[in-house]
Amino acid sequence: MNKLVIFDLDGTLLNTIADLAEGVNHTLGTHELPQHTIDEYTLMVGNGMRKLVIRALPQELADNDSFVDSMLAEFLEYYADHIDVHTKPYPGIPELINALSTAGYQLAVASNKIQAGAEKLIEKFFPGIPFVSVMGNSPLYPLKPDAAVVEYIMQKAGTDRAHTVMVGDSGTDIQTARNAGIPIIAVSWGFRPRHELTSADYIADSTAALESFLFESV
């Protein structure tokens, strides 16, 4: 049975934080609301776009569902057109993905990013790679850390838990893997501090370390 590696997207394969920050700040700015630094946004991402917008808003506005809906729509419209201005793969990631694919690994993405955005970025930065599935925020499945999206990917790949591993950069990814009953490799180059990753099965501090672990252990 072919081995399956399920990757998170933002903070794992791609450094997307500058475009996310710019998109939310643009939306906040049009309403003359306080904006945030990129470092602040690293602690706001990971639980979907709506939660990102809520976290960026002043508390009194974050509790207003109709206002959140409006801001989310404005942000998504802007972000769709500016999703890849600053975004780029982390060093060594394209080479790793190519090596895994060439070696016969099945590859997939499980992200809380909007579906169209996830697909656009994967197509741009990993052209020709036959991902089994690229899953973003879908009305059919709850967001991570719910394991439903991982279960779907495993079913589509025709594999089982014993032949599947997840790679991510956050506690959300770790909990997703735990909920799915599969091992999790955390990468320390993403959006969360290393001390938040200690419950992972393994922490990779470089792409070379991640590659070595995947080829030796998965």
pLDDT at 1: 57
pLDDT at 65: 96
Give me the pLDDT at residue 2, please: 74
Which residue ranges in the chain fall short of pLDDT 50? none
pLDDT at 218: 64
Total-model pTM: 0.95
**Cα–Cα separations (whole angstroms), residue 24 to 55, 121, 136, 186, 197:** 10, 18, 19, 27, 26
Pairing of strands 106-114, 88-89: unpaired
Active site residue 8: yes
Domain ranges in the chain are: 4-15+87-217, 17-81
The dotted CATH code for 4-15+87-217 is 3.40.50.1000
Q: Reply yes or no on domain 17-81 having CATH 1.10.150.
A: yes
User: Of the listed 8, 10, 169, 173, which one is catalytic?
Assistant: 8
For the chain, the first-to-last Cα distance in angstroms comes to 12
Q: For position 138, what pLDDT does the model report?
A: 86
Q: Are strands 164-168 and 88-89 parallel, antiparallel or unpaired?
A: unpaired
